[in-house]
Structures are given as structure tokens and as C-alpha cells.
Structure 1
């Protein structure tokens, strides 16, 4: 088995482990003419992962001409709330890259089959880009498996067709995103950051949160400068003070218990805490790894599940068989 960075060679199976994300900063500048919200956000990957495995089987599996009749099969580990049809972003990502490469363009149905399997651990509809991460993993896995040679830059362009966080998830690390969230620029970051991640089993719909934001909030003038400076300096205490999310007021409007849960993390001694993205996940910044474990224990009864994560967690990690 070979890891990402090895010299390219034909492969029969590709496994991509992709991290989740948190929003260290998010402001909503208003509603665009196309109906989407204008955002400024600082994104960072954190070490909660999903894994997408892809392999090809059947006739002409290794022949590009035969792949014009490629079929797609998607399975997942049965996690509640994850669709296994075209509503799944990973499936949609596979369709996008099939259209880009011409694989699956014939309709005789007698070609090889690409099988995608999702092993899901990132919580669903939780403000941690789980669906976007899966889409990014599918793009990376199929580019590698099929030897398409599209590269990460082109994959990010295709990712922008799928959703706001998908281009970031293709790259990972830390980024400043603007527009609808698809335009990203990598951000200089020093040090690592330790988080307690409070997870709720009941998901929260992103469209519902944006609708609530339009009802109960106003566009923000907050700027990401303090967050960016803290990241450049590797200053966890300053980062904790600078954490900001405009959507938090909307998420807490829909789920008032999130206010108490966020406060519980702060009362336990976190450097800062906020709702991640559209929620309902609440993250708290710890001083170090030992403090993160202490915080995890302190708020274990407040959430349905509490994880400890490290950021930045890089981008998609590729294994080839």
C-alpha cells in the first residue's frame, strides 16, 4: 500500500480519509442577487474524519474506452440521516467527475462498475462540513483511481459546483473564504490547536439556520483580522478571544439549549467557544491536549457525544492499493 505523495502508478483501490472543518470566524454580509448569502469566513480542518473507499471492478476496468460505460455503486455504513442516492454529495461529486472525464457517458450499461463506500464518523448536518468533506474525498479518490490526472486545482473548480465548503475540503488546512464560501485563499498558521467538540444527535438544517438568520439578525461588520493575527502568531489565547460566528444567533434561536451548552464549555475553562458553522456542534478551544481531555470530561453530560480534536488537520489523505 502506498501513501499520498508516492509516484503515480495504476491502482485498483483508493482510500481517502478526509477531515471535518470548523469555522473560526464567520460573518454574513447580506444576501446576494442570486439569493445566496455573502460570507467572510476562516475555515480550519479538525481531526474528526470520514473515509471514502473507491475501486473499479468488471469488464474493461483498466481500459479508458471501456469506462465510457462506467456504472456507479454507492454504499455507506448505515449512519442515520445519510442518503445513499443522488441527494448524497459524494454521489453528486462522482457524477461531476464522471461528466468531466467522459466516464459513464455511454448508456449500454455493460461497462465496469466503480464502487464507492463511505465510512462516516463526522456528525451529520452538524456545521462541520461532513457532506462537503465526503464530496471532496470522492473527487480526490476517483481522480486517483481512474488516473484522470485532473489535479487539485481542477478538482477545486469542480468542487465549487457542489457546495460552499467543498473546494476548501479538497485542500484542507486553514483558509479565508469569501463570496458564498467557494473562493478560498490559504492562511498562514503557526502551531496546533486543541478542541473539545460537543456533538448533538439531532441535526440542524443549514437552510433553516440561514432563514432564521434573515429573521432575527442583521448583516455584520466584523472583520477576521484578530483571528488571522492569532493564527499567524500561534496564540491560542488570542484565538479564543477572537472566535466569532454570525450564524450562532440563528442556531441558538432555533435551538436555545445551544446557548447553555456553549456556556458550559466556557464555564469549564475553555479559552473560547462557539457554534461551528450552522451548528448544532459547539466547539471549545483548550490550552493544550491535557486541558482538552479535562474539558471533554467536564462537559460529557451536556452533549450527546464529546470528542477531542486537533487543528489544523491537513487535507485529504490518500492511500493507494
Structure 2
């Protein structure tokens, strides 16, 4: 049960997207998940989750007043954002409430309002849903007076999805297993990217299923990417970009091959499918070159976003 000390009535968390400069699939584990070796980085494309508490007239605002709370979730992300219990924000709220002893009831007098501003591409391979879940865990732990440690939050995050623990921390990391076991790695300087979104979406399970049907485990390691990131050298990083899920994504969306070639022809040092796709990432030599590449390919994609990495972790503010 949360403690009764005063807690804020409004929390806002800005949480960045992630990219995979390197992703290798080693095969399928006995538990049915895929064994991965991947490098994560956060990029300066962020969603913002605002969480506030409202109470019926004459009642205390804090959830400890009766131990019951209603959760109301809204977003501006369009039809592509899952609704209700299918949304990772709602699932994170439910998991956290259970962990700290709150009961979620639709008719509870204490209401928690969750308002999500989407800027990370939906179903685009940049962990937007996982980032939002991380924002919910961090913000609601503060708003509800949960007082859980970062370690406890990471354990909850792993129950929500493989990318969620990294999204709680951010920066640059090497991940293994299903992707939830991470270790921070050195990164010098910044890298400049052009993120190109598609009109269509790719569901992560469908991409992994296509990998099962059409691909084999590879032996490529993350060494070249890690060395380039540590050196802060985009010229070295470009040709080292690698994603074993890229061929699977191209099976489902063949135009990705030509789109990736167009980014290379436009001057990118390297181009790769982001995560399970279909967003494509083009690495530029510097910020000015990123703008030039974006201008050359703008009409080819649903949206073209200029960003940089790494971007740190979630930023929480109260009031």
C-alpha cells in the first residue's frame, strides 16, 4: 500500500524513442522468445505522458484514501495507438497498482488521468509503446506515492516487454537475451539521423514470424558498432549498421529495399531498418547533412524526422 506522505497531484514524463544501430537474432529460445544481441540508443524524438489525480468533492486526492483509484487514458496518436487494456500505458498502470496495493475500479472516487502526446512513430520500430510504458511506471510511482526503487521498477518493466527496461534508463546500452538484460556502454559525442516513416505499420510479432520462416541465425557481432559509438565516429558507424530483422521486414514490405537505397543515394553514411520496422534510419555525417538528406527524400516517405542520439533517459517534472 502506498505511504500517506504528501505526493504531487500532477506529473509529466518526457520519454525518448530508441533505435538499434545493431541487432542480431541468434535463434529461438526454449521459451519461444528470440535470443538477441543488440545495441540500444535513445534519440531525441519523445512522447510526453501527463498524469494527474482528481478526486470527488470533499475527498482526499491521494490514492491511499480508500486504496481505490480509477484510471482514464487518452491520447492524440490516432487510430494506430492501441486502446484500453491493449495499451502499454494502461498495462503499466495496472501492474504498478497491483504491486503497491491499489485497486483499479472504474467507479472509484479518486481518478488518475493519463494523457499521452505521441511524437514517436506508432508501430515504427522505435519502441514508442515501450517508452510510454516506462513513462507510466516512473510517473505513477511518484504520483501514487509508490516509493518503489529503480530496481523494482526495472523488474516490473521486464514483465511489460523486452524494450521497457532500457526505456526506463536510456542512453546507450548493449542488450542480450530477449533484449531486457542491458549494460551501459561508452558513447562519445552525438550522431545525427534522418528517421523516415512509412504509411503502413509492421507488427513486431509478424516480423519475427517472417524471420522464423525466411532467415537463419547470423554470427555478426556488435564489436564494430560499439567501437564506432565509443569513438564518436559517424564515418565508422555508417557501414557497421546492422539489423538481422531487416530482411524479414523487407519480405513483408518489399519497398523498404528501394527506400533504403534511396537514402544511401541521398548521401547517408549508412541506412538500416529501425528495430522491427518499418521506419528507416539514415545516418548523416553532421546535422547540416541530415537536413540535406531529409530534403532530398522528403517526398518518398510519410514523414521525415531529423534527430540525434544518444538522448539520455526519461525526464520527470512535477506540478
- Shorter-normalised TM-score: what interval? over 0.9
Match in the other structure for 2:71? 72
Change (3 A) 1:66 1:219: same
- CA contact 2:20–2:274 (8 Å) conserved in 1: yes
Partner of 2:12: 15
Q: How many residues align?
A: 313
Aligned pair in 2 of structure 1 residues 48, 267: CA closer, same or farther (>3 Å)? Answer: same
**In the alignment, what sits opposite 1:58?**
55
Aligned residue number for residue 256 of structure 1? 254
Is structure 2 residue 78 aligned with structure 1 residue 83? no
* Alpha-carbon distance in structure 2 between the residues aligned to 1:65 and 1:304: 46
Structure 1 pair 45–215 and aligned structure 2 pair: CA distance change class (3 A): same
- What's 2:292 paired with? 294
SS in 2 for 1:232: helix
Shift of 1:110: 3.5
2:36 match: 39
Comparing 73-82 and 28-37, the one that deviates more: 73-82
Pair 134,67 (structure 1): closer, same or farther in 2 beyond 3 Å: farther
Aligned to 1:235: 233
Matches for 1:189-208 after TM superposition, within 5 Å: 189-208=187-206
1:166 matched to 2:164? The reply is yes
Find the partner of 2:24 among 15, 22, 27: 27
- 4+ residue runs of structure 1 moved beyond 2 angstroms? 59-65, 107-111
Distance 2:137 2:159 in 1: 12
Per the TM alignment, residue 203 of structure 1 is displaced from its structure 2 partner at its CA by 0.5
Q: Measure the CA separation in 1 of the matches of 2:188 and 2:175.
A: 19
Deviations 1:273-299 (A, max 9, x none): 100110000000001110100010011
Q: How far apart, CA to CA, are the structure 1 residues paired with 2:317 and 2:130? A: 20
| 1:170 to 1:108, Cα distance in 2 relative to 1, 3 A | closer
Give 1:111 shift: 3.5
3-state SS of paired residue (2:272): strand
Q: Which runs of 5+ in 1 are unaligned?
A: 1-7
CA contact (8 A) 2:196 2:280 kept: yes
The alpha-carbon deviation at position 67 of structure 1 amounts to 5.2
TM-superposed CA distance for 1:231, in Å, is 1.0
Within 5 Å, which residues of 2 pair with 1:116-135? 116-135=114-133
Alpha-carbon distance between aligned partners in 1 of 2:257 and 2:150, rounded to the nearest angstrom: 39
* Structure 1 contact 265–299 (Cα < 8 Å) conserved: yes
Secondary structure at 2:84 match in 1: coil
Query: How far apart, in 2, do the equivalents of 1:149 and 1:62 lie?
Result: 17
1:285 corresponds to which residue? 283
Q: Residue 10 of structure 1: CA displacement? A: 3.2
Give the secondary-structure state (helix, strand or coil) at the position aligned to 1:210.
helix
For the Cα contact (< 8 Å) 1:143–1:151, is it kept in 2?
no
SS in 2 for 1:86: helix
After superposition, the Cα gap between the structure-2 partners of 1:118 and 1:264, relative to the gap in structure 1 and judged at 3 Å, is same
Residue 113 of structure 1 is aligned with which of 111, 114, 120?
Answer: 111
For residues 65 and 143 of structure 1, what CA distance do their matches in structure 2 show?
A: 13
Q: Which runs of 5+ in 2 are unaligned?
A: none
Q: Is the 8 A contact 2:62 2:110 kept in 1?
A: no
Work out the CA distance in 2 between the residues paired with 1:242 and 1:87.
Answer: 36
Match among 304, 307, 316 for residue 305 of structure 2: 307
Cα distance between partner residues in 1 of 2:258 and 2:66 = 53
Q: Normalising by structure 2, what TM-score?
A: 0.95
Aligned CA RMSD, in angstroms, stands at 1.6
1:81-133 CA-to-partner distances (Å, cap 9, x unmatched) read 1122000011000001101111126x694431111111111111110001101
Distance 2:64 2:6 in 1: 19
